[in-house]
Structure 1
């Protein structure tokens, strides 16, 4: 007999609360944020593919398998993010026409980097690629699936906005919000990924019998 919707919801929320906790703990060294985020997307997307459960096992499998590559990607994100932040600040404070033009151009580049970032760690979680291929695939998805990219962008920006203006949202995020955000985004990411995978050979193997 299938479980009731209420029980299913409670089970899912329990998994997301646990996933959120593991993500927060494994993010504490800062440099491990990339590996932690990759593992969170892996766990969420595989739950869509295969069902709930096995949260700890799935999370730490991905965290371990993708640690090196995800960490390098994360450090690259920090470096490029720092450069772009300085670039935007410099051109904004220059106060000249050239500064305004360059600020606009830099803002476009920064936005393009942002939408690629929306896909980078989920792509690393889903596809077994080298770092260069991961970035190229993320960029191709960001541009090639603009409707999905727009949805992911709006969801992410709204999440950031409400966390900036609301202490209550901060508390929700610490409790389960980050995992819920990744779970919602994973539905759209899964649709994108499945256009490039034969489900019969989906690399999200069935780990339920291991």
Structure 2
């Protein structure tokens, strides 16, 4: 019992994980309040979790702020474009669905756009958190990685959808949703990013 509760025990580590996930989720939300900075906040999360998973020393507060500042110029335009396209496509899907089956082809095209954005998003924000690249290089590299490692990309998107659906049934999970998703996706794509660096 003593081993479970000491500083190296699983209970303590689990409590730290829950605390960090909650606080990073809150920091992400605060950083995303202007809406156009959602991409910046997301990249800052990947900045913190990247350090954690690679075994580097980190502080969730100072590293989130540091990551936010470092990626701001690079993440703001790409995050704004992705947010705008996703919002517009989802709006179109709802409107086209109301019009009936005669517009099913157009609705399917909108779903295709959403899927492409989600697949590219798997890598684009982690890349902005670690590399200083031009906008064109970011998009091109994200597309290449997303389709070269399609299994991982689809798995990460599936996890995101599953977590969103879970939150719909358990709204309180929204306090952890983005932080938990970013942690899992960072674990899944870290090896791929290491290969990309090499």
Do these two structures clear the TM 0.5 threshold for a shared fold by scoring above it?
yes
**1:159 aligned onto 2:163:** yes
Aligned match of 1:187 = 187
Residue of structure 1 aligned with 2:10, choices 5, 8, 30: 5
Tell me how far 1:87 sits from its aligned partner: 4.6
Aligned residues of 2:25 and 2:178 also touching (Cα < 8 A): yes
Higher relative contact order (CA 8 A, sep 6+): 1
Residue of structure 1 aligned with 2:74, choices 63, 69, 74: 69
What's the C-alpha RMSD, in Å, of the aligned pairs?
Answer: 2.4
Tell me how far 1:184 sits from its aligned partner: 1.0
* Alignment of structure 1 residues 114-133 onto 2, 5 Å: 114-133=118-137
Aligned match of 2:4 = none
Aligned residues of 1:12 and 1:52 also touching (Cα < 8 A): no
**1:31 aligned onto 2:32:** no
Unaligned stretches of 5+ residues in structure 2: 1-6
Unaligned stretches of 5+ residues in structure 1: 199-210
Aligned residues of 2:74 and 2:132 also touching (Cα < 8 A): no
Q: Note the alpha carbon deviations across 1:72-123, whole angstroms, 9 max, x for none.
A: 11211133224433554565455575x3333333322331122112222122
Aligned match of 1:172 = 173
Q: C-alpha separation between the residues in 2 aligned to 1:109 and 1:30?
A: 20
Length-normalised TM-score, structure 1: 0.80
Aligned residues of 2:38 and 2:80 also touching (Cα < 8 A): no
Q: C-alpha separation between the residues in 2 aligned to 1:77 and 1:156?
A: 16
Length-normalised TM-score, structure 2: 0.84
Aligned match of 2:3 = none
* Residues 13 and 93 (structure 1), Cα distance of their counterparts in 2 relative to 1, 3 Å cut: closer
Aligned residues of 1:15 and 1:53 also touching (Cα < 8 A): no
Q: C-alpha separation between the residues in 2 aligned to 1:96 and 1:29?
A: 37
Aligned match of 1:206 = none
Deviates more, 1:15-24 or 1:189-198: 15-24
* Residues 93 and 74 (structure 1), Cα distance of their counterparts in 2 relative to 1, 3 Å cut: same
Residue of structure 1 aligned with 2:49, choices 37, 44, 47: 44
Deviates more, 1:37-46 or 1:114-123: 114-123
* Residues 15 and 92 (structure 1), Cα distance of their counterparts in 2 relative to 1, 3 Å cut: closer
